Structure 1
Amino acid sequence: MPPLSPLPINEAVYRALRDQLMRGDFAAGQLLGIEELAQAMNTSTMPVRAALQRLAEQRAVERHRSRSMQVPLLSVERLDDIRRSRVLVECALTEWAVPRLQRADVEALKQLARKIAKALKSPATVDQGLAHNQAFHFTIYQAAASPTLLSMVESLWLQSGPYLRAARELMHQPQGPDPELHEQILQAIVDGDARAARRAMEHDIAWAFDRLRLMPHMLDMAA
């Protein structure tokens, strides 16, 4: 586990666990023991317990009958609900962001798109690709200047963590992500075409959800 950032300990622990959940570092159904997490993060149990409570309020984890927390199981119904919600909120933010994105933002997005495409070519760097993908999306969403919807996106990404972990198995298969999707988003932004950017973002969000929905064995862990 990477070292904590120089923030108040409660906030640093929360952000570290939040980022791990967003990246899909924890599997659906995985138990998160407070003492084990505290040891891995080189801290006491109190900030870990507080962080897990915050994450439970965001529906990113849930209480288990033991004293641990658990990453929610990834059912088909939950997958479909998160997919619909992400498309609704993130596509709106994308449309709003297009006229607000500055030249520096666009250059940053181009660099991230290149890093994503390169990282997803090798199983050894898929995790890096997912981290760059998160940065790509949130660079756009933050430009929309809507703190209310941005907090909703963060919550949805927290709940998407288990699907991201499962989706890693698709990265190097024929049904893996289309690298052109990010290029389509970028081109729409450069053209100032907010509606085209919205459509491209919907396709980008939906590909993994749609493929997982058609591959029940990918969801057996949540049966």
Structure 2
Amino acid sequence: MQKIEHRTLTELAYDEITQGMVSGRFLPGQVLIIRALADSYGISATPIREALQRLVAEHRLDVLPNRSIAVPKISKDKYLELLRIRCALEGLAAELATPNIDAASLEELGRMLDELEESVRENSSEGYVALNQKFHFHIYEKANSPHLLKMIQDLWSRVGPLFNELFADPDFVNHANDEHRRIYAALERGDPAEVYDCLVRDIHVSASSLHARG
């Protein structure tokens, strides 16, 4: 019999805030207000405070001089370092995932592509950033490598807030899903090396847009 998982409110708050960073729900430099987060998640302030302190200890959130807790602003050098690591780990995850992408997964990814296109037509940066995260992680989860997935989640919690800036670049918006379509086509062909290359190119395209204005 499978054991029932017990998770504390602090763990749940930690996961929700982390997911918010991964999916770009928060902005670089944004101060996280404990009461506002507690109201949003429907829990008391104490687990929110404890979750924020844990994220500070992990250097994923910053403490400001006035003791407020904020989403970090990433320097150019740190971003480039994270970019190199992302390409290696996310490319590997996509490569490992390719043999495990079945017809149902392709159908789900196809639906996400349609929704991504809709978010571009509506000029919805928030919708695009959230769907982009779902598209990528649907692939990475198929690598069946929990430790690798955890490392990628950690990276995205650091860079995810930056993705909100992508729609400030009209050229990026005009080609926002080109690389996603190439990833999808490579997955259809079942070519791990091609999927790796397409995934890394997608990372570089968005990074170039952010870097150009950074």
When the two structures are superposed, what TM-score results if normalisation uses the length of structure 2?
0.88
- Tell me by how many angstroms 1:133 deviates: 1.4
Please, which moves more after superposition, 140-149 or 205-214?
205-214
- Residue 184 of structure 2 aligns to which amino acid in structure 1? L
How big is the shift at 1:66? 2.6
- The answer to whether the aligner puts 1:188 opposite 2:181 as a matched pair is no
Cα gap change, 1:178 to 1:41, in 2 (>3 Å) = closer
Partner of 2:155: 156
Say whether the 8 Å CA contact 1:10–1:51 is kept in structure 2.
yes
Secondary structure, aligned partner of 1:60: coil
2:172 to 161, 172, 175: 175
Amino acid at match of 1:33: I
What is the aligned partner in structure 1 of residue 55 from structure 2?
55
1:173-195 per-residue CA deviation (whole Å, 9 max, x = no partner) reads 12334422111111111111111
Which runs of 5 or more structure 2 residues have no equivalent in the other structure? 1-6
> Corresponding residue for 2:210?
212
Report % sequence identity.
28
Match of 1:198 in 2: 196
Superposed displacement of residue 152, structure 1: 0.6
**SS of corresponding position for 2:26:** coil
Q: What SS is found at the alignment partner of 1:27?
A: coil
Q: Which moved more, 1:18-27 or 1:35-44?
A: 35-44
The reply to whether residue 103 of structure 1 matches residue 103 of structure 2 is yes
The offset of 1:16, in angstroms, is: 2.3
Contact between 2:115 and 2:131, CA under 8 Å: does it hold in 1?
Answer: yes
Question: Structure 1 residues 191-200 or 7-16, which shifts more?
Answer: 7-16
Pairing 1:126-137 to 2, within 5 Å after superposition: 126-137=125-136
Within 5 A, what are the aligned runs for 1:12-161?
A: 12-123=12-123, 125-161=124-160
Distance 1:40 1:175, change over 3 A: closer
- Report the Cα distance in structure 1 between the residues aligned to 2:66 and 2:21, rounded to whole angstroms: 20
Structure 1 stretches of 5 or more lacking a match? 1-6
* One-letter identity of the residue aligned with 1:89: L
- Does the CA contact (< 8 Å) of 1:32 and 1:70 recur in 2? yes
**How many residue pairs end up in the alignment?**
207
Q: Aligned partners of 2:186, 2:40: CA distance in 1, in Å?
A: 43
Aligned alpha-carbon RMSD (Å) = 1.9
Partners of 2:128 and 2:30 in 1: CA distance? 23
Cα deviation, 1:58-99, whole Å, max 9, x if unaligned, reads 432122233321211122112212211111100010011101
How many Å separate the matches in 1 of 2:19 and 2:54?
Answer: 13
After superposition, what is the alpha-carbon deviation per residue over 1:1-20, rounded to whole angstroms, capped at 9, x for unaligned?
xxxxxx74323322322222
Query: Within 1, Cα distance between the matches of 2:139 and 2:42?
Result: 34
Structure 1 CA distance for aligned equivalents of residues 53 and 167 of structure 2: 28
Say if 2:166 and 2:172, in contact at 8 Å, map to a contact too: no
